[in-house]
Structure 1
Amino acid sequence: MSLLNIEHLSVAFGDATVVDDVSFSIAPGEKFALVGESGSGKTVTALSVLRLNQDAGYRGRILFDGDDILAKSEPALRRLRGKDAAMIFQEPMTALNPLFTVGNQIAEVLMLHEGLSGKAAALRTVQLLEKTGIPEPARRALAYPHQLSGGQRQRAMIAMALACKPRLLIADEPTTALDVTIQVQILELLNQLQREENMAVLMISHDLNLVRHFADRVGVMEKGRLIETAPVPELFANPREAYTRKLLASHPQRMVNLVDAGGAPLLQAQNVRCTFDIREGWFRKRSFVAVDDVNLALRPGETVGIVGESGSGKSTLGMALLRLSVARVSGAIHFRGQPISEMSSGALRPLRSQMQVVFQDPFASLSPRRTIEQIVGEGLALHQPQLTAQQLRQAVAAGLEEVGLSGAMLQRYPHEFSGGQRQRIAIARVLVLKPALVLLDEPTSSLDVSVQMQVLQLLAELQRRYGIAYLFISHDLAVIRAMAHRVLVMKDGRMVEQGGVDDVLSAPKEAYTQRLLAASTYSVAGVDMQAAAQ
């Protein structure tokens, strides 16, 4: 008998139907995955299982253990959510409450649903954080969401969802922000819990390699409809629909141009060190070294990839190089020959338009209260105050069109766009300033494979057209192999290996780099997917 049975489900927001006549079932202990492009209706379908879509109209039935979710009262749903059925959300920075520590948020679930005392819930919280691979779990439990890296926030979300050992786990991109080694750990953890508790899993993912290794069955969604369902081996070996074949064939290809190796560096850093003060109680604090003795050079039109596990110092290094870090930074940093590490904020301001950032989470980095015209035009208005309102609007519209969006979208807000579209808006916000250097912090981590491919092609084309240099931070080694000229490998804040992409990723010298490559099975899976699509 099925634990979850969705029958002819349709979901509409106003007059727009975004999920249309979807039916599938999940048995106890089964792992079922939904895949498809951004905007295909995967997440809306998953959120419908717990009735978490705001202002949505539903038709059909969602039966959980025989009871219709759509007929339940709100108090009955609250008893179900987090206990019998739990969810791992895609964007942990927006899903976690910024006013409470992650430990408090996990303990709250245990106290509400299992009746644990505060002390027992705190002990269980530390055990859960440790089980999901977070270092120093007792200390991290006292941290607020903004004090954790993207991967650590995602692991805290996973710990919260697994706290009450639910019968159904809905995992919406559960490994999006995680590096390859932690992905393996999380999948092993989910597999272990699934076996021990006979837990069913509904997984939403754009990572076809992850789906291939984790799920029992997979459903493919396109434009709100479920177009194909099959056991995983059958679907990957013999996809029936042309759309499915296109998804399986979408994986990064090498997209780099030649760079003048003898050219003067655009950005040069020597002996960069970043330290933070960490409070230990009310009156004590200790110094934590996040980045230690890193050297780097970046030439115009070149892409340097920075890889390493979550918490290795990748993002901290990138922000320090652009003088955006809140850490204490020492060492010499030069941009176009100017010592920006020694400049005051006022002296550095004229150079800001030439050094831009595309952040990891576009939903969190785009203001929900401002229109796309205001968001994309903000930098232009600041750095080019001589532009008239009409010139500013024309420049913003041109920037949107250059990243594949319509200039007619100016008055819309970020929540009205899919994840891939929001990332394009973030790129347009940077592009309108015509920068010389862009820091890309996991720019494709939340995107499905086909949209990821489109964004990478866009970035490669912009680099060819304008000679932009990229600092490309990513946990996805396949993306780094496709985009970077050189790669820098970081572990515990230190640079353990660097060199050309082919040298480092094909013949790594360091054991840590070898371990990263061993955890990444994308290249093998990519060959199989390509063969299956032909």
Structure 2
Amino acid sequence: MNLLEIQNLQVSFDTSKVVNDVSFSIAAGEKFALVGESGSGKTVTALSILRLNQDAAYAGRILFEGQDILQRSEAAMRAVRGKDVAMIFQEPMTALNPLFTIGNQIAEGLMLHEGLSARIAALRAIELLDKTGIPEPQRRALSYPHQLSGGQRQRAMIAMALACKPKLLIADEPTTALDVTIQVQIVELLNQLQREENMAVLMITHDLNLVRHFADRVGVMEKGCLVEVAATRELFTAPRETYTRKLLASQPQQLVNTLNESAVPLLSAEHVRCTFDIKQGWFKTTPFVAVDDVSVQVRPGETLGIVGESGSGKTTLGLALLRLSSARVSGTIAFDGKPLNAMQSDALRPLRARMQIVFQDPFASLSPRRTIEQIVGEGLALHQPQLGAAGIRKAVADALLEVGLPPDIMARYPHEFSGGQRQRIAIARVLVLKPDLVLLDEPTSSLDVSVQQQVLQLLLELQKKYELAYIFISHDLAVIRAMAHRVMVMKDGKVVESGMTQAVLSQPTEAYTQRLLAASVYAAADEEATAVQA
């Protein structure tokens, strides 16, 4: 008997049918991947297994160990969630409670489902954090979600999902926010646990290299329908459907514009140092240096890539350069010749329209109480009120079209969109102001491969048209190779290597850079071998 069997599943919200007649099964110990573009119904299908789709109408059957999930009471479902079936959610900020420490949130499931004491559960939580690659797990267990980087939050959520050793693990983009070395660790960890516990895994991802390396079978979804199911090797070597072939062909291509190296730098920073105070007990604090002696220059029309593992200081540096960091910042930072770190807030405000940021987590950065029109148009209302309501509305519609979204979504709210669609909305909010400098913090991490290519192409076209300068923070070295003119490699707050992108990524001189590159190509080597065999 299959562990999970989905038969003719249909999921509707009001009159909109978002999953249509989907059927597949997962055997005990099997690794099954669902792939497809953003909005294809992958996550809604997965959430249906735990009945977590709010206000959804279901039809069909979802059999888990022979029992129909759709017929179970809510009390019976609570016993299943987190114990027999666990889920790693795509966006950690929506799944982690901001009022409780990471350790308490992991320990909660152990205490509820396994009856462990608070002390034993706390020790197990530290062990799980250590297994998922979080440094200083004892200290991080006492941290709150906002005190961790995006990648560290994702790893903490993985630790929470694995705590009770579930029979089925639903992993919705589990490596989206993770750097390449941790991706390898997480995949190996999931493989190890799957073998030891005979755990089945339903993986939802847009990372086709991850699918190739991890899954036994793959299902491809398009517009709510399951269009193809095949063994992994068969799907990658001989896809049957046109849509599957299009997905497999959507990989980052070389997109770099010609750079005017004689141009005066738009942003210039020297010897930037960022320090936080870490609480040690009630009254004592210890300084923590997140960025140490970093110098940066970015010219108009240039893309500077910043890479490194999670917690290396990439985002802290980016926020400091735009005067958005809560850390104590020393050094000199100048934008268009103006000393940013010496300016008062009122004097800085007119420059804000020229310096914009696309945040890593779109759900956390988009107000849930505002419509898409209000979110995208907010900056225009503040910086260009002379446009008037009609002019702002037109500019919002044009910005949405530029990122591949129809203007008729303007009356809707962020929770009504998939993760990839929300990220496109976040990009539209920035582009509508036509800034001079954009900080892109993992802007394509939640996008599927085909939309990722569209967004990268869009960013390139806008850069060429308006001579935009980009600071591009990413753990995806393929994206950095495609987009960046120059690259900086960061580790523990320091720049360990920098230079022209092709030179650094082709012939790295530092051992750390070599390790990053080795981790990023582990699946590419497998892909190349498969292509040769084909």
TM-score (norm 1): 0.98
Contact 1:239–1:532 (CA<8 Å) still a contact in 2?
Answer: no
Measured against aligned partners, the alpha-carbon deviations of 1:276-309 in whole angstroms (never above 9, x if no partner) come to: 0000110111000000000111000000000000
Question: Equivalences for 1:466-481 in 2 at 5 Å?
Answer: 466-481=466-481
Cross-structure match for 2:308: 308
Shift of 1:464: 1.1
SS of equivalent to 2:155: helix
Measured against aligned partners, the alpha-carbon deviations of 1:327-382 in whole angstroms (never above 9, x if no partner) come to: 00000111111111111111111111100001111122111111111111111111
Contact 2:423–2:446 (CA<8 Å) still a contact in 1?
Answer: no
2:207 is aligned with 1:212: no
- Equivalent residue letter for 1:153: R
Question: Equivalences for 1:105-504 in 2 at 5 Å?
Answer: 105-504=105-504
Distance in 1, Cα, partners of 2:255 & 2:268 = 24
- Equivalent residue letter for 2:437: L
Measured against aligned partners, the alpha-carbon deviations of 1:362-411 in whole angstroms (never above 9, x if no partner) come to: 12211111111111111111112333222222222222233333333322
SS of equivalent to 1:405: coil
- Equivalent residue letter for 1:256: V
Distance in 2, Cα, partners of 1:224 & 1:530 = 30
Shift of 1:259: 1.1
- Equivalent residue letter for 1:41: G
Which stretch has the larger CA shift, 423-432 or 354-363?
423-432
Distance in 1, Cα, partners of 2:63 & 2:79 = 16
Distance in 1, Cα, partners of 2:198 & 2:113 = 20
Give 5+ residue unaligned stretches, structure 1.
none
- Equivalent residue letter for 2:107: A
Contact 1:42–1:221 (CA<8 Å) still a contact in 2?
Answer: yes
Give 5+ residue unaligned stretches, structure 2.
none
Cross-structure match for 1:516: 516
SS of equivalent to 1:323: coil
Distance in 1, Cα, partners of 2:289 & 2:100 = 25
Cross-structure match for 1:11: 11
Contact 1:248–1:529 (CA<8 Å) still a contact in 2?
Answer: no
Measured against aligned partners, the alpha-carbon deviations of 1:457-495 in whole angstroms (never above 9, x if no partner) come to: 111111111111000000000000001000000000000
CA spacing shift, 1:337–1:525, aligned 2, 3 Å: farther
Shift of 1:170: 0.5
Distance in 1, Cα, partners of 2:434 & 2:200 = 49
Cross-structure match for 2:84: 84
- Equivalent residue letter for 1:51: R
- Equivalent residue letter for 2:160: M
Which stretch has the larger CA shift, 295-304 or 426-435?
426-435
Question: Equivalences for 1:38-77 in 2 at 5 Å?
Answer: 38-77=38-77
Contact 1:360–1:443 (CA<8 Å) still a contact in 2?
Answer: yes
SS of equivalent to 1:51: coil
Contact 2:90–2:174 (CA<8 Å) still a contact in 1?
Answer: yes
Distance in 2, Cα, partners of 1:24 & 1:120 = 39
- Equivalent residue letter for 1:450: S
Distance in 2, Cα, partners of 1:490 & 1:130 = 22
Shift of 1:419: 2.6
Distance in 1, Cα, partners of 2:452 & 2:529 = 19
Which stretch has the larger CA shift, 332-341 or 521-530?
521-530
Distance in 1, Cα, partners of 2:244 & 2:416 = 26
Measured against aligned partners, the alpha-carbon deviations of 1:129-151 in whole angstroms (never above 9, x if no partner) come to: 00100001011011111110000
Distance in 2, Cα, partners of 1:230 & 1:406 = 33
SS of equivalent to 2:386: coil
Distance in 2, Cα, partners of 1:200 & 1:402 = 40
Distance in 1, Cα, partners of 2:114 & 2:139 = 24
- Equivalent residue letter for 1:325: S
Distance in 2, Cα, partners of 1:64 & 1:453 = 37
Shift of 1:426: 1.3
SS of equivalent to 1:387: helix
Distance in 2, Cα, partners of 1:361 & 1:37 = 18
Contact 1:245–1:532 (CA<8 Å) still a contact in 2?
Answer: no
Distance in 1, Cα, partners of 2:172 & 2:510 = 34
Shift of 1:526: 6.2
Q: What value does the CA root-mean-square deviation take over the aligned residues?
A: 1.4
Shift of 1:49: 0.7
The alignment of Structure 1 onto Structure 2 pairs a total of residues equal to 533
Distance in 2, Cα, partners of 1:482 & 1:220 = 26
Measured against aligned partners, the alpha-carbon deviations of 1:483-515 in whole angstroms (never above 9, x if no partner) come to: 100000000000000001110000000000000
Distance in 1, Cα, partners of 2:66 & 2:528 = 42
SS of equivalent to 1:134: coil
CA spacing shift, 1:166–1:523, aligned 2, 3 Å: closer
- Equivalent residue letter for 1:123: L
Shift of 1:79: 0.5
SS of equivalent to 1:295: strand
Query: Percent of counterpart pairs with the same letter?
Result: 76
> Where does structure 1 differ by over 6 angstroms across 4 or more consecutive aligned residues?
528-533
- Equivalent residue letter for 1:446: S
Distance in 2, Cα, partners of 1:147 & 1:156 = 12
Distance in 1, Cα, partners of 2:391 & 2:12 = 38
Contact 1:248–1:532 (CA<8 Å) still a contact in 2?
Answer: no
SS of equivalent to 2:488: strand
Measured against aligned partners, the alpha-carbon deviations of 1:205-232 in whole angstroms (never above 9, x if no partner) come to: 1000001000111111111111111111
- Equivalent residue letter for 2:225: R
Contact 1:4–1:26 (CA<8 Å) still a contact in 2?
Answer: yes
